[in-house]
Amino acid sequence: MSQIAEIMQQTQAAFEVYSKTTPAQRAGFLQHIAEAIEAKREQLVAKAHEETHLPLPRLNNEITRTTGQLKMFAAYITEGSWVAAAIDNLPGKPDTRKMLVPIGPVVVFGASNFPFAFSTAGGDTASALASGSTVVVKGHSAHAGTSLLVNDAIQEAIRLSGMPEHTLQHVLGPGNSTGKELVLHAYTTGVGFTGSFSGGTALMRYAAEREKPIPVFAEMSSINPVVLLPDTLTQNAAALAKKLAGSITLGMGQFCTNPGLLLGIEGPGLEEFLSKLGEEITQVTGQPMLHEGIYSNYKENLSSKSSHIAYRGSGEPTPAIATVSAAEFLNNPHLREEVFGPFSLLVVCADKAGLKNTLQSIKGQLTATIMGTDKDLVENTDIIALQTSLAGRVIINDVPTGVEVNSSMVHGGPFPATSDARFTSVGTSAIQRWVRPVCFQGFPDALLPEELQNANPRGIWRTVNNEWKNS
């Protein structure tokens, strides 16, 4: 038996026990993971810094975000109403009761750009464990040491909280052999991924070709269009340029929400904005990227766009702003692809019709932003509607980088931003990816899950014959 087959058998056996744990037990386990990570904070930050070159304050914040996510899910499942329980038991009708149950073992691919928050104990893992699914993590080679240390913290939490030994397992190895075998294994029921378009779509293909296809929740590529409306350009060009330059170069542009596409209507306001953005960008010096592959992709992307580059910063990777007309943008699909790094492309449109055409040519996005004064916003509800049709998160007068972790967040969007626009990988709703609804018909009360029993022992909100009740 291969090592992966053995791991999958163990995770399946663990699932049979773990899926029956109470929400309180799972919440305690998530809390223990958060505490074990916190106890190793210094060691984790140092290792991640060595492996990813990310600055120490950023890594410290990311640990806080990661432990915060774990605690958020602990509170969410403790409250319990998320299972969407519904009871229908009208006289003369069958007694049917529905709730969400965990799908089974889940494979999580660690992301290169978030060694904590989207990796071993990140949002995919936290939401899957909260749901009652077991997890096999395929660590990212760019921060394998960090991933192993986080795994140690999780294993400690497994022991402390008395969870089955193989509730979470960690493997390292090449994506196209180890990763592929994990996705293809019969016991795998779902996949979480953050990374490249080619990687995400490869996993989607493996999953679809299985004898029993499974869902892949892949977050892949997004250029996050920012529309700059005319009145705000006239009034706020310099402030907008400063704010956007900060967002474009934050973390060397290695965020999936990096504003990689700016759009505006030609005129003195847009010219002033571009020149101020140029001033800002030329002052930024490149810092080492996450790994050699990402850096060489960036250099290649930049050189293929060299004829369009208007401003460059210094150092390597070189931050850059390119500019093209809407006609050039529409004729060259290559310009619509993600450039992962400190880069943004400004599309200069001749008029509002050109702006609308350009937006209509863009594929699905994680975010879409509109910068505008009150006057702009009132006059451009059609642009706001277009942006809303493109993305999972629509932002007015702020930058897309910085993703809040809460119940209203949507970190998702139409393909190719993600593989399934109905879901989010950040926030409490991320748990929805790892569950399926089951209807229990004609069950005696004692055989029902507590969430569906007549006495409602968990006191959760549920519908009883379409009426909301928590008693």
In the complex, the residues that contact ligand NAP under the rule CB under 6 A are 109, 111-113, 138, 140-141, 174-176, 179-180, 194-196, 199, 202-203, 219-222, 256, 293-294, 297, 338, 340
54 or 452: whose CB is closer to ligand NAP? Answer: 54
Q: Which is nearer to ligand NAP, 294 or 346 (CB)?
A: 294
| Rounded Cα gap, residues 417 and 430, in angstroms | 16
Strand, helix or coil for residue 145: helix
Q: Which of 114, 105, 166, 104 is nearest to 139 (CA)?
A: 114
Q: Measuring CA to CA, which residue among 192, 47, 177 is closest to residue 118?
A: 192
CB of 184 to ligand NAP, least distance (A): 10
Closest distance between ligand NAP and the C-beta of residue 317, in Å?
A: 11
Neighbours of 2 (CB within 10 A): 10
DSSP one-letter code for 319 = P
Dihedral, CA atoms, 33, 218, 199, 103, nearest 10 degrees?
Answer: 70
| Closer residue to ligand NAP (CB): 31 or 196 | 196
Written as one string, the DSSP assignment of 179-215 is IHHHHHSTT--EEEEES-HHHHHHHHHHHHHSSS---
Q: How far is the CB of 404 from ligand NAP (least distance, A)?
A: 17
Shortest approach of ligand NAP to residue 28 CB, angstroms? 30
Residue 337: phi and psi, rounded to 5, are -90, 155
> Of the residues 256, 280, 338, 451, which is catalytic?
256
- 279 is known as an active-site residue: no
Which amino acid appears at position 228 of this protein? Answer: L
Q: Which of 51, 219, 280, 451 is catalytic?
A: 219
Q: DSSP label at 452?
A: G
> Which residue is it, tokens 């806080």?
64
Please report how close the Cβ of residue 112 comes to ligand NAP at its closest, in angstroms.
3
Contact partners, residue 198, CB within 8 Å, separation at least 6: none
Which CB, 11 or 224, lies closer to ligand NAP?
A: 224
Active site annotation includes 439 = no
Give whichever of 195 and 286 is closer to ligand NAP, judged by the CB atom. Answer: 195
Which positions are annotated as active-site residues? 219, 256
